[in-house]
A and B are shown apart, each in its own frame.
Chain A
């Protein structure tokens, strides 16, 4: 179900953003934040060392999407045309009609509600267009900015998974934030 959707990856428009497929020309914009230690700190990937790393990321993302594998939208800031982050979706467990969200934002654009605006639009797309049964986000406990976005998008804190991931060689706990379709459609007052 989700594979066909990922192959298509429809463009999503919000008030201040456009979520679209990555393009080769986005590498400089991506590198401006993926090169930062403060961004890579809670991610399973290492900070990019050069624009070539960002180019490889774009190529990998586009190839994955072409095969219907988990990938991400580029988040373009309408006002200046720059790519300021990404939001991705992946299947949690095959057959459970459930998707996991992952997201990242250039710190220069933080604090203005962009991440929540993008993620909220992705959550809506997942429930209303893709027809999933549940969306979830696993947030490293120390990354409260990420948890805050999940909360603002209507996800609920469901628990804490101890030593769930190894990030840069360290075990880290993750909060589970989730929202099921039944609760979403109960509360969606947009």
Chain B
């Protein structure tokens, strides 16, 4: 449970939650519940996000991982967030790069997708830096906190990144 305090500190921020599906975390106990569910899911083989940490500092500063996965069509969908104190340093593009490549090399994905709530320009930049392309703008495809938002549907193909490292 060592990550609960850091997770709560990140996800209780209105600035972080603004473009996420979750409302700002109300309490540290909520963060503990989230972590417990992930640990259970991970043990049963379901996808769970990685914690993002800086080298040399074993503290959670963000998350990045697969929120959906279709082996039949060899595609996966990523989701990510980052503590506000670490914005603007190129951390999220680096994490997305690693997670995208892990999906292609370890899960044999051909296509990795990400949905962005319209207006989240920083998130679009993270994806564009990793060769993701905007493929569709889907009207009201996301409901967050009871409100509909347009979804910007980004994706990168294996062919866009080859040769893979």
Chain B interface, DSSP helix/strand/loop, else mixed? strand
Residues A96-125 near B (CB distance < 8 A): 96-98
The answer to whether B139 touches A178, judged by C-beta atoms less than 8 angstroms apart, is yes
Contacts of A160 in B (CB 8 A): 135-136
| Residue A161 interfacial (CB < 8 Å) | yes
> Among residues 114 to 155 in chain B, which have CB atoms less than 8 Å away from a CB atom of chain A?
133-143, 148, 153, 155
For chain A, what secondary structure do more than half of its interface residues adopt (helix, strand, loop), or is it mixed?
Answer: strand
Answer whether residue B75 sits at the interface, using C-beta atoms and an 8 A cutoff: yes
- A163 and B110 contact, CB distance less than 8 A: yes
Segment with Cβ contacts to B, from A17-25, A54-62, A140-148, A179-187: A179-187
Residues of A within 8 A of B136 (CB): 158-161, 176
Quick check: B137 and A158 within 8 Å, CB to CB? Answer: yes
Q: Which B residues are CB-close (under 8 A) to A179?
A: 139
Indicate if the CB atoms of B138 and A136 lie closer than 8 Å: yes
Which residues from chain A contact B21 at a C-beta distance below 8 Å? 95
If the complex has contacts A133-B148, A176-B153, are A164 and B111 also in contact, measured as CB distance less than 8 A? Answer: yes
Interface presence of A5 (CB below 8 A): no
- Say whether A9 faces chain B, with CB atoms less than 8 Å apart: no
Beyond A161-B153, A162-B111, A166-B72, is A178–B135 a contact (Cβ under 8 Å)? no
Contact, CB under 8 Å: B138 / A178: yes
* Known contacts A161-B155, A163-B111; A181/B73 CB under 8 A: no
- Give the docked Cα–Cα distance between A178 and B7 (Å): 36
Q: Is B5's beta carbon under 8 Å from chain A?
A: no
A98 touches B141 (CB 8 A): yes
In the bound complex, CA of A166 to CA of B68 (Å):
17
Q: Which residues of B contact A182 (CB under 8 A)?
A: 139-140, 148
Q: Are A180 and B140 in contact (CB under 8 A)?
A: yes
- Give every chain A residue within 8 A of B110 (Cβ-Cβ): 163, 171
Interface positions, chain B 94-125, Cβ under 8 Å from A, are 110-111
B21, B74, B75, B136: which has the most chain A beta carbons within 10 Å?
A: B136
Given contacts A159-B134, A164-B73, A180-B141, 16 further A-B contacts (CB under 8 A): A44-B72, A93-B68, A96-B142, A133-B143, A134-B138, A136-B138, A158-B136, A158-B137, A159-B135, A159-B138, A161-B153, A162-B111, A162-B157, A182-B139, A182-B148, A183-B139
The 3 closest A-B pairs by CB, nearest first: A159-B136, A180-B140, A180-B139
